[in-house]
């Protein structure tokens, strides 16, 4: 059970709930039936904090909720709107049906402590603001106004994916990741997979970044096999996600020829340079044309058409962020992609926050590498229906600099880590009971970034209680992300990872 408790205490709990199988005799038989086990489990996992909350809002002054009590709790504490007594009554009945409860609770339709914990694990206890788990943002603005969930060299994990296309055997184009030890796969197979799954979970457009290294002969085959809908004329304004529902957008290099050393994964100072001719028919299919930023990229703001889309490495992102120039004025009109530096051959990820605060829409991460950077990405795109598109903060939509427009503290967030339950053991500690603690961290502008943690709870991964409060004063809550990470304390080695969760601060629901 991942819990170390006193043997005498466990025995006392057992005897207290073991009343025997014959109701007329009512004596211990050394076994727990279903009802007795539920009572034993309730006593073992009862949290005084949970009971205190129920007592505060219970009209019966006990640890049960009537439909009226639950309605008041959901409106006053959880800040849901339009919760009626009828809705509250149906919630209680649904929980009782799924979980079971004491006979009294079942007979009188009361929500008990076990049911209350089930309630907190449902949408009624979700940390997201009501409605933020669905598409709630305006989806009719230009593509450049949105963050776009993007994958780097991994397929079908975001709303923007990258495809390296080269000449293959038998006249068939293939896909591979150049300069790495990976095998090639047939382009046609990949396109069929994309077509099957691209819009299974989101109806909004899928952007395909094509790195085309095919000869002219095989480019003709590529053009015949790709499944997209694209305008043949240059865009005068970027369309909206709403306009492009169930559409593919091709992003890539156009023109008569381009230099392959501009590949995102190659060091241009050391790579050999080769030139490829691009079939004009392929160029016509590309809606977002990749382009290099000039040394004086501020001039590119007026020179670049809205459908020109540069790709910059994480190293370039850091240089831009350190400069005094306002890159957000460029990203307010143009779609920009940032990607991991070439040295990350281990598929590690870089922190996406700096790119996002520059207004960069497509921050391509290695989805196969689960780390805190990918968790931040998951947290950002958790909202708005997890559709892959999140509207940028207002300050970035108008091209202002997030860090240079900070002022007084605009939000004070108080957060209490109350308790946890049923925390899993790390794979490396199958037989040990964990000693959990929670890291509480804010990512955002430098002045808002803070990292704190709770105390360590020894020998309890079953129902640890911390009951610790933290206070965060934020200047730019629009770009801030809260990250919670649970770890297992270890005196002899590095602390083991247990779990994590990230969420945009502005999408947190008080409760």
Q: Give pLDDT tens digits for 422-445.
A: 898 887 666 678 999 999 999 999
Residue 188 has pLDDT above 60, yes or no: yes
Residue 271 has pLDDT above 50, yes or no: no
Q: Which of 113-117, 273-277, 343-347, 507-511 has the highest mean pLDDT?
A: 507-511
Query: What is the distance between the alpha carbons of residues 102 and 118, in angstroms, rounded to a whole number?
Result: 15
Other C-beta atoms lying within 10 Å of the C-beta of residue 58: 20
Average pLDDT over residues 181-195: 65
3-state DSSP assignment of residue 415: strand
- Comparing 365 with 176, which gets the higher pLDDT? 365
Angstrom distances, CA of residue 23 to CA of 34, 39, 40, 42, 475: 14, 16, 17, 21, 63
Give percent of the chain above pLDDT 90. Answer: 39
| 369 contacts: CB under 8 Å, gap ≥ 6 | 347, 348, 349
Average pLDDT over residues 380-401: 94
Enumerate the CATH 3.20.20.190 domain ranges in the chain, comma separated: 143-397
Give percent of the chain above pLDDT 70. Answer: 72
- 349, 369 contact by CB (below 8 A): yes
Average pLDDT over residues 491-506: 94
β partners of residue 166 = 174, 213
Residue 103 has pLDDT above 70, yes or no: no
**Of the candidates 402, 326, 329, 335, the residue with the CA atom closest to the CA atom of residue 363:** 335
- In angstroms, how far is the first alpha carbon of the chain from the final one? 29
For 385, which DSSP code? G
Assigned fold of 7-125? Recoverin; domain 1 (1.10.238)
Average pLDDT over residues 10-22: 67
Alpha helices, DSSP H only, in 149-234?
Answer: 187-197, 216-225
Enumerate the CATH 2.60.40.150 domain ranges in the chain, comma separated: 406-507
Query: Domain 143-397 has what CATH class?
Result: alpha beta
Alpha helices, DSSP H only, in 177-253?
Answer: 187-197, 216-225
- CATH architecture of residue range(s) 406-507: Sandwich (2.60)
**Of the candidates 463, 454, 448, the residue with the CA atom closest to the CA atom of residue 495:** 454
| 430 contacts: CB under 8 Å, gap ≥ 6 | none
Enumerate the CATH 1.10.238.10 domain ranges in the chain, comma separated: 7-125
* pTM summary value: 0.83
Residue 139 has pLDDT above 50, yes or no: yes
Query: Taking all residues of the chain, what is their mean pLDDT, rounded to a whole number?
Result: 79
3-state DSSP assignment of residue 354: helix
Q: CA 158, 159, 164 angle in degrees (round to 5)?
A: 80
């Amino acid at each position: 059970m991942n819990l170390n408790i006193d043997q005498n205490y466990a025995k006392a709990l057992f005897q207290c709930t073991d009343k025997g199988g014959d109701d007329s005799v009512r004596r211990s038989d050394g076994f727990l039936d279903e009802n007795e086990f539920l009572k034993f489990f309730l006593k073992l996992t009862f949290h005084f904090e949970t009971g205190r909350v129920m007592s505060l809002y219970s009209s019966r002054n006990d640890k049960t909720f009537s439909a009226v009590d639950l309605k008041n709790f959901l409106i006053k504490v959880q800040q849901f709107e339009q919760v009626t007594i009828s809705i509250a009554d149906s919630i209680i009945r649904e929980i009782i049906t799924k979980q079971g409860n004491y006979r009294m609770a079942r007979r009188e339709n009361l929500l008990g402590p076990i049911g209350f914990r089930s309630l907190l694990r449902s949408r009624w206890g979700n940390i997201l603001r009501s409605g933020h788990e669905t598409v709630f943002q305006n989806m009719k603005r230009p593509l450049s106004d949105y963050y776009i969930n993007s994958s780097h060299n991994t397929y079908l994990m975001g709303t923007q994916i990258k495809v390296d296309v080269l000449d293959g055997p038998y006249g068939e184009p293939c896909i591979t990741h150049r300069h790495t030890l990976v095998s090639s796969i047939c382009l046609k197979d990949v396109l069929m997979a994309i077509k099957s799954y691209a819009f299974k979970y989101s109806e909004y457009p899928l952007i395909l970044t094509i790195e085309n290294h095919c000869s002219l002969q095989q480019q003709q085959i590529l053009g015949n096999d790709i499944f997209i809908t694209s305008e043949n004329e240059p865009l005068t304004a970027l369309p909206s996600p709403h306009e492009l529902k169930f559409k593919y957008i091709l992003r890539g290099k156009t023109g008569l020829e381009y230099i392959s050393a501009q590949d995102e994964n190659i060091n241009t100072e050391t790579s050999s340079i080769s030139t490829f001719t691009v079939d004009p028919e392929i160029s016509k299919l590309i809606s977002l044309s990749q382009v290099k930023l000039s040394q004086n990229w501020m001039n590119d703001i007026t020179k670049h058409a809205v459908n020109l889309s540069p790709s910059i490495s994480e190293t370039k992102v850091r240089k831009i962020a350190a400069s005094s120039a306002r890159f957000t004025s460029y990203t307010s009109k143009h779609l920009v992609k940032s990607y991991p530096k070439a040295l990350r051959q281990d598929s590690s990820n870089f922190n996406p926050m700096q790119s996002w605060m520059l207004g960069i829409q497509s921050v391509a991460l290695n989805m196969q590498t689960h780390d805190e950077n990918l968790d931040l990405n998951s947290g950002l795109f958790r909202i708005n229906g997890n559709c892959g598109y999140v509207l940028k903060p207002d300050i970035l939509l108008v091209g202002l600099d997030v860090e240079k427009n900070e002022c007084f503290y605009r939000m004070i967030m108080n957060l209490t880590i109350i308790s946890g339950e049923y925390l899993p053991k790390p794979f490396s500690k199958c037989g040990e009971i964990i000693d959990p603690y929670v890291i509480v961290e804010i990512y955002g502008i430098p002045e808002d970034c803070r990292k704190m943690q709770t105390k360590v709870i020894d020998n309890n991964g079953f129902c640890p209680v911390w009951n610790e409060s933290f206070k965060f004063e934020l200047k730019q809550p629009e770009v801030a992300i809260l990250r919670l990470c649970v770890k297992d304390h270890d005196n002899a080695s590095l602390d083991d990872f247990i779990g994590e969760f990230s969420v945009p601060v502005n999408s947190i629901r008080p409760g």
